[in-house]
Chain A
Amino acid sequence: EAQVTQNPRYLITVTGKKLTVTCSQNMNHEYMSWYRQDPGLGLRQIYYSMNVEVTDKGDVPEGYKVSRKEKRNFPLILESPSPNQTSLYFCASSPSADRAQFFGPGTRLTVL
């Protein structure tokens, strides 16, 4: 089944404890992206990647890192999480940047 998977789906952590949210797609898509969703704000793009080893900042990259070492994986790293990073995070992929994106199920992160 074609899909985008994210792990974990739910995470409660404490300020400053490094964490990684994994994202994997099995559709051989070139383009991948991370978003955060906060009530009333829609989605905001954190980072995106056009291909392996090619990443760029979105609107709200501060406090986040990404890497794209393989085409299928695009992990999101929070080196030192803070409470303002409490949010719902979505990973998405598409065959190219101007095509519809397939979204993962979301990761709900709470930073205490």
Chain B
Amino acid sequence: ELKVEQNPLFLSMQEGKNYTIYCNYSTTSDRLYWYRQDPGKSLESLFVLLSNGAVKQEGRLMASLDTKARLSTLHITAAVHDLSATYFCAVDMRSNYQLIWGAGTKLIIKP
């Protein structure tokens, strides 16, 4: 079965702390995407990872892809309240641009 699992599904943390969201997927793929969704809003692209070892950074967020381990991580450094949102990873596991999505990680950052 083609599955994308995100961990944790819910995360409450303090400002200033570091944390990592994990995205595991069940079969080989070298195309993985991270998106952010604010409550009641649409989705916004964060990162596109297209090869093994890809690493991308934007501000306090850094994403990486390990295709051998079938794992992507989204690392948050020195979290700030504005990063509170739900984060989704999506994987192209059939190499035909049909994306399978994780259930999302709801992140709450407390001042």
Chain A interface residues (CB < 8 Å from chain B): 31, 33, 35, 40-45, 48, 50, 56, 58-59, 90, 92, 97-106
Interface membership of B33, Cβ < 8 A: yes
- Name B100's closest neighbour in chain A (CB-CB): A59
- Give min CB distance, A65 to chain B, whole Å: 17
Q: How far is the CA of A58 from the CA of B90 in the complex (A)?
A: 13
Interface of B is mostly: strand
The answer, among A33, A98, A100, A106, for a CB contact under 8 Å with B45, is A100
Hey, which chain A residues are within 8 Å of B99, CB to CB? 33, 43, 45, 58
A6 CB → nearest B CB, Å: 9
CA distance A80 to B83 in the complex (A): 40
Q: Is the CB of A41 within 8 A of B103?
A: yes
- Bound Cα distance A59, B1 (Å): 12
Neighbouring A residues of B104 by C-beta, 8 Å: 42
Residues of B near A48 (CB, < 8 A) are: 97-98
A22 to B45, CA, bound (A): 22
Could you say which residues of chain B place their CB within 8 Å of the CB of A58? 98-99
Check: B44 CB closer than 8 A to any chain A CB.
yes
Task: Please determine whether B45 and A31 come into contact, CB atoms closer than 8 angstroms.
Answer: no
